[in-house]
Amino acid sequence: MSTEIDIAGVVRRFGPHTVLNAVNLAVRPGELLALLGPSGSGKTTLLRLIAGLDQPDSGTIKIDRADALRARPKERGVGFVFQHYALFRHMSVFENIAFALRIRKAPKPEVNARVTELLKLIQLETLAGRYPAQLSGGQRQRVALARALASQPRVLLLDEPFGALDAVVRRDLRRWLRQLHEEMNITTIFVTHDQEEAFDLADRVVIMNAGKIVQEGTPIEIYQTPANAFVHEFLGESNVLPAIIRDNSVYAAAGFPLGSACAADGEVTAYVRPHHVVPSADPEGAWRVQRIAATGAHARVSVGRNGLTIEAAMTADALLESRLAPEVNANVDFTGGTLFDKDGEGRIRLLSAASQASVVREGAST
């Protein structure tokens, strides 16, 4: 039923810049896929190529196994929601949504029925006569979506769909869009630079950097096993510590143990998420608490030693129990993390010293 998209070896250059460098991507039927990456990573360009707003320099794009590059935008069956919505400012909400049908010379009763149905879907029946400038950001966003859906596209593409909205509207729309996707089951790709948004909404996330796909997977897979240092850093805060591996034990270059790893000896860089840093008050401890910031349910603790500062995150309740306070000495346990080589590749799992036994078992099984 649903549509699949096959992208193979797509290259796009703008002058001297290679914006997309041999991109391969298979979009599965009916999935909600996020293209996640920093600005300039090529994700919007890829979306525009799929929609037919731009042509690749080489490579193929197939929609349901048919060559999409030979099809004009009209024949691709693609609905596109622009970052700033690009609603037709001289047309009412009704006429905006009806545009694709009028272009196709659909009979009037059919246009009226379809637009009314879509207005109901986006819950804006009462605003059919308004002009885009008279709507709020969230309302415009929904009109843009209804307009893109009017001609019943096989694929829905959204470029930074929530970028221009405030936090509350964004959260509501996100849920609404997820629900809508589950009802309609239309293959959907959206572009975002917001990691939380991508993970919250998508079935599968594709991470792009500098014109290449760095990693694909479910949100959990990507968060747990980031392909390289870029992905790890992009997905959230990391403490970055130069480290060495010796006899399956990992030490920070500054001299303290980080945990264990099942890998050959050598120099690596450890990436440790703040929630894997667990400080505990200890008068004999080598670390010193520098700063505590409590933000509601969560708290952040900065601890330092010998000029090195690392960040820890814990729940506010755990902070109370730990009796940590500024200028108090502490011990720090590392409960997890990821090691990469000098090039930021070659991922190795960092295990806490306590789970040394499991390292041996894992090592034996592989």
Contact footprint for another protein (CB under 8 A): 51-53, 73-74, 78-80, 82, 84, 86-91, 99-100, 103-104, 131-134, 137, 140, 147-148, 150-151, 164
CB nearer to another protein: pick between 73 and 255: 73
Least CB distance from residue 149 to another protein, whole Å? 11
Query: Of 37, 49, 42, which is closest to residue 21 (Cα–Cα)?
Result: 42
CB nearer to another protein: pick between 100 and 278: 100
Least CB distance from residue 91 to another protein, whole Å? 8
The DSSP 8-state label assigned to residue 326 in this structure reads T
- Tokens 């991508």 locate to 198
Query: Of 330, 285, 336, 292, which is closest to residue 314 (Cα–Cα)?
Result: 292
- Which residues, in sequence order, are bridge partners of residue 252? 243
CB nearer to another protein: pick between 74 and 342: 74
- Which residues, in sequence order, are bridge partners of residue 158? 81, 190
CB nearer to another protein: pick between 53 and 281: 53
CA-CA-CA-CA torsion sign (87, 91, 93, 96): negative
CB nearer to another protein: pick between 39 and 306: 39
**How many angstroms separate the Cα of 359 from the Cα of each of 113, 157, 245, 351?**
63, 43, 14, 7
CB nearer to another protein: pick between 24 and 136: 136
Least CB distance from residue 57 to another protein, whole Å? 20
Least CB distance from residue 97 to another protein, whole Å? 10
Least CB distance from residue 292 to another protein, whole Å? 38
Rounded CA separation 315/278 (Å)? 11
Backbone angles phi, psi at 186, to 5 degrees: -95, 135
CB nearer to another protein: pick between 51 and 115: 51
Query: Of 327, 326, 335, which is closest to residue 294 (Cα–Cα)?
Result: 326
Least CB distance from residue 11 to another protein, whole Å? 22
CB nearer to another protein: pick between 90 and 246: 90
Least CB distance from residue 72 to another protein, whole Å? 8
Least CB distance from residue 144 to another protein, whole Å? 8
- Give residues with Cβ within 8 angstroms of 138, minimum separation 6: 165, 169, 172, 173
CB nearer to another protein: pick between 36 and 100: 100
Rounded CA separation 298/332 (Å)? 18
* CB 104, CB 151: distance < 8 Å: yes
Least CB distance from residue 78 to another protein, whole Å? 6
CB nearer to another protein: pick between 100 and 299: 100
Kindly state the helix (H) or strand (E) to which residue 285 belongs, with its residue range: none
Kindly state the helix (H) or strand (E) to which residue 232 belongs, with its residue range: helix 229-234
* Token pair recorded at residue 52: 């037919």
- Give residues with Cβ within 8 angstroms of 83, minimum separation 6: 44, 159, 160, 161, 163, 164
Least CB distance from residue 130 to another protein, whole Å? 9
* Token pair recorded at residue 164: 């221009």
Letter for the amino acid at 247?
D
In the chain, count H helices and then E strands: 11, 21
